[in-house]
Amino acid sequence: MKNVVFIHIPRTGGGTFKDILEAWFGQENFYSERSGATERQVAGIQPGNPYVPVAQHKKVIHGHFAFHPSYKDRLLCTFIRNPVDWTISRWAYHMKFSNKPMSVIDLMNMGFVNIQSKYLKGSTLDDFKFIGITDRYIESMKVWEKIAPESPFTRWRNVDWDKVMAHQKDTHEGNFKNASNRAVYTVTDEIKTMIRERNKEDMILYENAVKRLNEG
């Protein structure tokens, strides 16, 4: 089979899909690229190449690297998130782990706009075998099951995705994965409108990805 390459855009729920891929194909067939400061490179805050050469010796390659044309001949996967939710989640992440307070506007002014489009720059949706939608995770995983290479493990045949995702939620309860859903990180409708205006490329990307999911 072709290598599965998962471009894990941060704050899209990709950690869950990473865990599923590792379990689906087996840990011995899984390679996670530690690509460091890619998000800051994509945002234009830090210099460097936001993509990495893909290892050939593993069936699955995962990482926070950006798209590169050399990935086109692989089974390419990613997840896309509503840009408003993505921005709030990224802001919440900063507020959780940084000692420097920052508003959502400050975050966007730093360069954190259209980040998902920047990760996928140079690609089209047709380059991807699988595109999941964060806010429609179970539907997305049912699509994955249809197109994925068969797992060597029987647990991944005829999967009850409602149970799998309920387990994932229980497993990560209390962790930071869903911080943007907490009331403390809510924003006004005015700010949401501003996020949409400043993330027009990501809005188009998200809407096209949703359309693709709807069309099956």
Q: pLDDT band at residue 86, thresholds of 50, 70 and 90? A: very high
Burial class (CB in 10 A: 0-12, 13-18, 19+), 132: buried
Please give the torsion angle defined by the CA atoms of residues 33, 120, 211 and 111, in that order, rounded to the nearest 10 degrees: 110
What pLDDT sits at residue 192? Answer: 96
With CA atoms as reference, report the closest residue to 29 among 65, 50, 6, 58: 58
Q: pLDDT band at residue 180, thresholds of 50, 70 and 90? A: very low
The pair of structure tokens assigned to 4 is 């599965």
- In contact, 71 and 5? CB cutoff 8 Å: yes
Name the more confident of 171 and 168. 168
Host H or E run for residue 7: strand 4-7
What pLDDT sits at residue 49? Answer: 82
Average pLDDT of the chain to the nearest whole number:
89
Q: pLDDT band at residue 147, thresholds of 50, 70 and 90? A: very high
pLDDT of 182 higher than 60: no
pLDDT of 53 higher than 80: no
Cβ neighbors of 22 (< 8 A, separation 6 or more) are 30, 60
Alpha helices per DSSP H over 8-125: 14-25, 38-42, 83-97, 104-110, 115-119
Percent of the chain with pLDDT over 90: 66
With CA atoms as reference, report the closest residue to 79 among 16, 145, 33: 16
pLDDT of 183 higher than 50: no
pLDDT of 91 higher than 60: yes
Mean pLDDT is lowest, of 37-51, 102-116, 133-147, for 37-51
Name the more confident of 194 and 178. 194
| C-alpha separations of 182 from 17, 89, 168, 177 in Å | 22, 10, 18, 11
CA distance 212 to 49: 30
What residue type is 42 in one-letter code?
A: V
Percent of the chain with pLDDT over 70: 90
> For residue 83, how far is the Cα from the chain centroid?
12
- In contact, 187 and 105? CB cutoff 8 Å: no
Residues 26-40 pLDDT 10s: 999 999 987 678 899
What pLDDT sits at residue 173? Answer: 52
Query: How many beta carbons lie within 10 A of that of residue 172, not counting itself?
Result: 14
Please give the torsion angle defined by the CA atoms of residues 164, 170, 171 and 173, in that order, rounded to the nearest 10 degrees: 140
